[in-house]
Structure 1
Amino acid sequence: MESESFGSKVKRTTKKVIRVIIITLVIAAIGIFSFYYWGTYDEGFKSGRIISISHKGVIFKTYEGKINLETFGALKGASPIAESFDFSVEKGNDALIKDLSDAALNGEHVNLHFIKRYAAFPWRGDTKYFAVRVERLSK
């Protein structure tokens, strides 16, 4: 009965080590992707008037919006400076898209609640900011 040669033992051990390294890297990549995809960095709200809501994109159609914020300068009596905030709306949130469109068409003042994600993915939207809820305020 012949015993295994040293070379075949090394080959088997090397294959096992490489397999473990590849599996570890794949699991780490899945974990990092999940963190960036579902992780939330910030949440808050912006107040202003919705300027636009559009469904755009060539390959990935996403809903993108813009809200006009009014910020006031430090000088008393200074006119407001127009500042805008770009945001995206996740696919499937049809009620929110309708509320945002109605508020834009009526020129209503709104509080736009948003979350900020760690990364932007082209199939999700152009920005890291995603509208989650809108409060339509009376004039």
Structure 2
Amino acid sequence: MGRFVFIVVTVIILILGGIFFYKFYFVFGKGVKAGELNYFVQKGYIFKTYEGKIIQSGYKGQTSGTIQSNEFQFSVTDENIASRLMTASGKVVELHYKEYLGAIPWRGFSPFIVDSIISISDPNQGRNPIP
């Protein structure tokens, strides 16, 4: 009887571990978003995470003849990327991200995690990417 309980408990733990991995560590998608960096901050009570938002403009609105902007909220786990984005507020950025099925507190509030910066440019000076 003890061996049966051990096997059942082990199987349940493995299934729960697999569900946790799939929900929070499986990369669901990858992509690139571009827009004007609205804000980028470090916040959190226990886990200090980097959070940001870019504004993507030029999408057709629901009413004829209108333009609607779209917001993309993201998190950053890499300190080097975070330090570059801290000085890029108001600039046009292109960001490569990974999409997860869920957010975990030590990674950030968003399921979208930026893993690299493609370009940063100043909209007032034209399109000169900063490496």
TM-score band by shorter chain is 0.7 to 0.9
List per-residue Cα deviations over 1:34-57 (Å, max 9, x = no partner): 222321111111111111111111
* Structure 2 residue runs without a partner (length 5+): 122-126
Q: Confirm or deny that 1:132 pairs with 2:104.
A: no
List per-residue Cα deviations over 1:80-119 (Å, max 9, x = no partner): 42321110111xx111112212221xx3211111111011
Q: Give the SS at the match of 1:72.
A: strand
User: Who is 1:81 aligned against?
Assistant: 68
Residue among 37, 43, 47 paired with 1:50:
37
Residue 24 to residue 108, structure 1, CA distance change in 2 (3 Å):
same
Q: Measure, in 2, the Cα distance between the counterparts of 1:41 and 1:115.
A: 8
List per-residue Cα deviations over 1:53-72 (Å, max 9, x = no partner): 11111122111000011123
The structure number with the bigger radius of gyration is 1
After superposing on structure 2, the runs of 4+ consecutive aligned residues of structure 1 that deviate more than 3 Å are none
* Structure 1 residue runs without a partner (length 5+): 1-13
Output the aligned Cα RMSD.
2.1
Shift of residue 79, structure 1, vs aligned partner: 5.9
Equivalent residues of 2:41, 2:86 under 8 A apart? no
Q: Measure, in 1, the Cα distance between the counterparts of 2:9 and 2:100.
A: 28
Higher helix share: 1
User: Who is 2:101 aligned against?
Assistant: 118
TM-score (norm 1): 0.77
Higher strand share: 2
Shift of residue 74, structure 1, vs aligned partner: 6.7
User: Who is 1:95 aligned against?
Assistant: 80
Q: Give the SS at the match of 1:123.
A: coil
TM-score (norm 2): 0.81
Equivalent residues of 2:37, 2:93 under 8 A apart? yes
Aligned AA (1:136): I
Q: Measure, in 1, the Cα distance between the counterparts of 2:59 and 2:21.
A: 40
Shift of residue 20, structure 1, vs aligned partner: 0.7
Question: Identity of counterpart residues, as a percentage?
Answer: 27
Alignment length (residue pairs)? 121
